Amino acid sequence: MTGTERQRLAVVGQGYVGLPLTMRALEVGLDVVGFDVDEARVDRLRRGLTYIDDVTDADVAAALATGRFTPTTDPADLAGFDVAVVTVPTPLRDGAPDLTYVESAASMIGPHVTTGCCVVLESTTYPGTTEDVFVPLLEAAGPLRAGRDYRVGYSPERIDPSNPVWDLRTTPKIVSGIDELSTKAVTDFYAGLVDRVVPVSGTREAELAKLLENTFRHVNIALVNELAIMCHGLGIDVWSVIDAAATKPFGFMPFRPGPGVGGHCLPIDPSYLSWQVRRSLNQNFRFIETANDINDHMPDYVVARAGENLNRRCRSIRDSSVLLVGLAYKRNSGDARQSPALAVARRLAGLGARLRAVDPLVDPALVPAGVSLVEGTADEVASADLVIVLTDHDVLPWDLLERHADRVLDTRNRLRAEGTDRL
């Protein structure tokens, strides 16, 4: 590639990780092929429409207007890349990592690798995936060899949807390679996209660093969730306890309880590490197993607390009108992946509650069966036997909820009225 040619980037996967990467690469002047197997998703991109919080319709339209963005479902369009980045899902299936999408991506990219190109895996996975799974599939397509003929690395994604401070550019980027030249190639690539690049010693270390980040959060959230359950039984305000402990300027980091954990990381990623420890060492990662148990059962605890609230007013969950406030897994986001609010909704529906929900950010197509999506009006709030705050979006009608706090179960500590029943 001469100095006058633009670098050609192929991004395999155009979801919450791949699409922001695509937009940033276009912003710095790269030619980008955005590949995805979802034809509906690619069709939206071709029409200048988004489907994630961190990229707007205007962003997509501007990307198309550059003439340098090619959304596609055709693997042949991957040919000729200088750098390829894989940002595909790695779900759990029966407690084990499913690398089907990673394997498929590697098999698609393999025929298109050329001497001097660079391939990077960003998908969250267990240590060893890049070198033991990804590289052999890349090499299976032809005579070129990773390391000798082209570069391969791993750089874990750190996307936090709707975070107003830390985005793809401002969040430090861990990078690694299968050898020294690969690490340099991966470092050079991301240095053009982000403010700070953090090289580590190898791909296994980078893979495990990602799992450690999310396991740390998962375990600490489980700690405060269990503390919330204990504090309720003891008649202690858990929120005041956490706020008091947070005044210590060293040795403590505050985490907040809630109805469970959700999103693309916490309900899944720590289990990759737990699975690998069981498989490789024949041991259990007890912290992760305990955290999974606590966080997975928080929706059940919220439903039990809802039952307690209704029972105090001589009502049962069955046939009660329950208004759910917020369905996304985090505030100010429409992301409902693995949302504990949806788990609460399904459990309440199974017990016979009449459910309505207020969430102007969530796609109506993601609302569970048996839940009616409504606007947060005074009539809706007043007619509910119980209001349950599950996600504390800023755009929600908090003033109305404050006036009806004697019939509210607040799992996010958003309301301050005296009658509020807090988690």
Active site residues: 265
CA distance 57 to 45: 9
Which tokens is 35 given? 């590949």
Residues 6+ away with beta carbon under 8 Å from 348: 303, 306, 317, 322, 324, 355
Residues 6+ away with beta carbon under 8 Å from 335: 16, 52, 53, 161, 162, 263, 264, 328, 329
β-partners of residue 322 are 355, 386
Q: Are 386 and 320 in contact (CB under 8 A)?
A: yes
Q: Which long-range contacts (CB under 8 A, 24 or more apart) does 285-292 make?
A: 287/215, 287/219, 288/215, 288/218, 288/219, 290/222, 291/215, 291/218, 291/219, 291/221, 291/222, 292/218, 292/222
What proportions of the chain, in percent to the nearest 5, are helix, strand and coil?
Answer: 40, 15, 45
CA distance 105 to 101: 6
CA distance 44 to 57: 10
- DSSP symbol at 150: B
Task: Count the alpha carbons within 13 Å of 414 in the hemisphere toward its beta carbon.
Answer: 25
Q: Are 155 and 173 in contact (CB under 8 A)?
A: yes
Helix (H) or strand (E) segment spanning residue 410: strand 408-410
CA distance 383 to 51: 33
CA distance 277 to 95: 13
